[in-house]
């Protein structure tokens, strides 16, 4: 199984948990049950000891999608610019993992 390394996961862990927790509430509000389950799965993965640094492409795509939804929601609906920027930076970092793997 092809995996990508997210070497900064320890550094980004608390920010990822913060954004994912917000999105769980948003997804529940809009009854997006599959996305709630995906968020909960990511929270479980982030709580593993020791934390993994290698993830499947599918898992990272899910995380990228959660961050993308967070950017859109936080900026367009909540006007939370700092949190939206945080989610955008995390999303860009995840996208960078795919670009790094191509080269």
pLDDT digit string, tens, across residues 2-17: 899 999 999 999 999 9
Please give the pLDDT value at position 66: 98
Q: For residues 101 and 71, which has the higher predicted lDDT (pLDDT)? A: 71
Please give the pLDDT value at position 16: 98
Number of domains in the chain: 1
Domain hosting 12: range is 3-102
Q: Answer whether 63's CB lies under 8 Å from 53's CB.
A: no
Least confidently predicted of 28-32, 61-65, 97-101: 97-101
Residue 4 forms beta bridges with which residues? 55
Contacts of 20 (CB under 8 A, 6+ apart): 39, 42, 43, 46, 66
Mean per-residue pLDDT for 19-23? 98
Please give the pLDDT value at position 102: 74
Global pTM reads: 0.95
């Amino acid at each position: 199984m092809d995996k990508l390394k997210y070497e900064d996961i320890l550094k980004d862990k608390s920010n990822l948990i913060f954004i994912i927790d917000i999105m769980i509430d948003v997804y529940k509000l809009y009854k997006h049950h599959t996305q709630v389950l995906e968020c909960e799965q990511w929270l479980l993965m982030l709580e593993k000891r020791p934390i993994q640094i290698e993830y499947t492409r599918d898992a990272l795509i899910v995380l990228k999608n959660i961050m993308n939804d967070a950017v859109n929601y936080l900026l367009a609906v909540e006007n939370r610019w700092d949190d939206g920027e945080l989610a955008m930076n995390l999303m860009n970092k995840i996208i960078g993992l795919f670009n790094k793997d191509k080269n």
